[in-house]
């Protein structure tokens, strides 16, 4: 348990599915521990199930906290893909006031008490998602419905460690990458797209979190960050052009002025295209210059074709 708790506390994530072999007492003694473990709430010892003449009936599952990232693309406005999921048996947690627990789905037991059947427990920097029903089809039809794949995808993305998540970086932004305390004393070397190398440091912020201070990213392209003491600790990330600068050809002069003059950048609104060629002062001269250049290319192309033809003979 210590290894698992350390992993989650340092930013990792884990998902639990219950099943036929689940022993609530064992879970509570190891993972709840009166609120000190991964589980902030105790798991109810009695399995929730409703039956009629020996046949299990679908339980009434009430989704909660629908704005949670896990429900993204599954529950959206009037669309609820979980409505096609039938759950016949599930364990539930006794809901309390613990702030580090977020109920995502609830069910009522025989005494009409609400139990949390899907919960997000925060533990340190990480999370544990617990699903009271099974991952196979023995207690539900979840795995046979499209919502299951979306649920696993969203949960995996949500539980992914911060330091392995991909983010969109743009030029002009400063970047900090989180690391765990074990790597807080390591030295890192950053290589930019120009293959220039520099050393970056690990800082501790006000929240006692350790972060690698990359600094401002000014060059678009791929960057490599390597732990100088452990070559396996290597990260590759990309930096893209500022999206506002990428739209420069679609913006009018006044829009450009509005974007850049606040930063003391002068926007030249001259319409004389001849300034594009050094030493050419008027548009007629520019046209003559371009025509001469085209003629030279034509002559060179014909000479090259003649030379190739002679070699072929």
Q: Pick from 129, 162, 195: which residue ends a domain?
A: 162
- Based on the fold, state whether residues 7 and 121 are members of the same structural domain: yes
Counting the structural domains of the chain, the total is 3
Residue 266 counted as domain residue? no
- Based on the fold, state whether residues 48 and 129 are members of the same structural domain: yes
Residue 144 counted as domain residue? yes
CATH number at 13 reads: 3.40.50.880
Instruction: Please list the ranges in the chain whose pLDDT falls under 70.
Output: 161-168, 206-207, 242-253, 255-291, 302, 305-313
- Based on the fold, state whether residues 11 and 127 are members of the same structural domain: yes
- Based on the fold, state whether residues 279 and 199 are members of the same structural domain: no
Residue 249 counted as domain residue? no
- Based on the fold, state whether residues 7 and 154 are members of the same structural domain: yes
- Based on the fold, state whether residues 26 and 157 are members of the same structural domain: yes
User: What pLDDT is recorded for position 185?
Assistant: 82
Residue 264 counted as domain residue? no
- Based on the fold, state whether residues 170 and 40 are members of the same structural domain: no
Residue among 57, 86, 104 nearest 145 (CA): 86
Length, in residues, of the chain: 313
Q: Pick from 240, 258, 289: which residue ends a domain?
A: 240
Q: Pick from 186, 217, 240: which residue ends a domain?
A: 240
- Based on the fold, state whether residues 128 and 172 are members of the same structural domain: no
Contacts of 108 (CB under 8 A, 6+ apart): 48, 60, 114, 115
Is 147 exposed, middle or buried (CB count within 10 Å of its CB: 0-12, 13-18, 19+)? buried
- Based on the fold, state whether residues 18 and 155 are members of the same structural domain: yes
Q: 184-189 long-range contacts, Cβ below 8 Å, gap at least 24?
A: 184/210, 186/227, 186/228, 186/229, 186/230, 186/233, 187/227, 187/228, 187/229, 188/212, 188/225, 188/226, 188/227, 188/228, 189/225, 189/226, 189/228
How big is the CA angle at 276 (ends 275 and 281), to the nearest 5 degrees? 35
- Based on the fold, state whether residues 201 and 220 are members of the same structural domain: yes
User: What pLDDT is recorded for position 260?
Assistant: 61
Residue 260 counted as domain residue? no
Distance CA 141, CA 92 (A): 18
- Based on the fold, state whether residues 41 and 186 are members of the same structural domain: no
CATH number at 170 reads: 2.60.40.10
267-312 tens-digit pLDDT: 665 544 444 334 444 445 555 666 677 777 777 776 776 666 666 5
Predicted TM-score of the model (pTM): 0.56
- Based on the fold, state whether residues 176 and 39 are members of the same structural domain: no
Residue 197 counted as domain residue? yes
Range(s) of the domain holding residue 184 = 166-240
Residue 250 counted as domain residue? no
Residue 116 counted as domain residue? yes
């Amino acid at each position: 348990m210590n290894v698992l708790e350390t992993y989650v506390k340092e930013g990792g994530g884990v998902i639990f599915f219950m099943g036929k072999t689940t022993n609530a007492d064992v879970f509570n003694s190891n993972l709840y521990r009166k609120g000190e473990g991964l589980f902030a709430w105790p798991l109810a010892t009695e399995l929730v199930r409703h039956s009629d003449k020996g046949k299990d009936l679908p339980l009434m599952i009430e989704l909660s906290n629908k704005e949670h990232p896990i429900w993204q693309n599954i529950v959206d406005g009037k669309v609820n893909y979980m409505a096609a999921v039938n759950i016949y048996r599930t364990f539930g947690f006794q809901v309390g006031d613990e702030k580090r627990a977020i109920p995502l789905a609830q069910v009522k037991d025989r005494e009409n008490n609400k139990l949390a059947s899907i919960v997000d427990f925060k533990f340190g920097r990480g999370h544990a998602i617990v699903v009271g029903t099974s991952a196979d089809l023995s207690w539900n039809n979840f795995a046979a419905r499209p919502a299951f794949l979306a649920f696993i995808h969203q949960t995996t993305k949500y539980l992914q460690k911060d330091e392995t998540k991909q983010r969109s970086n743009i030029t002009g932004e400063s970047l900090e990458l989180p690391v765990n305390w074990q790597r807080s004393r390591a030295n890192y070397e950053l290589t930019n797209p120009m293959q220039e190398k520099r050393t970056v440091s690990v800082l501790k912020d006000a929240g006692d979190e350790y972060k690698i201070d990359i600094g401002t990213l000014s060059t678009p392209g791929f960057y490599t960050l390597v732990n100088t003491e452990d070559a396996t600790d290597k990260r590759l990330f990309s930096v893209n052009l500022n999206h506002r600068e990428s739209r420069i050809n679609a913006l009018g002069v006044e829009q450009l002025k509005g974007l850049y003059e606040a930063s003391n950048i002068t926007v030249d609104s001259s319409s004389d295209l001849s300034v594009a060629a050094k030493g050419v002062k008027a548009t007629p001269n520019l046209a003559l210059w371009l025509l001469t250049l085209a003629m030279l290319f034509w002559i060179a192309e014909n000479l090259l074709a003649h030379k190739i033809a002679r070699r072929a003979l």
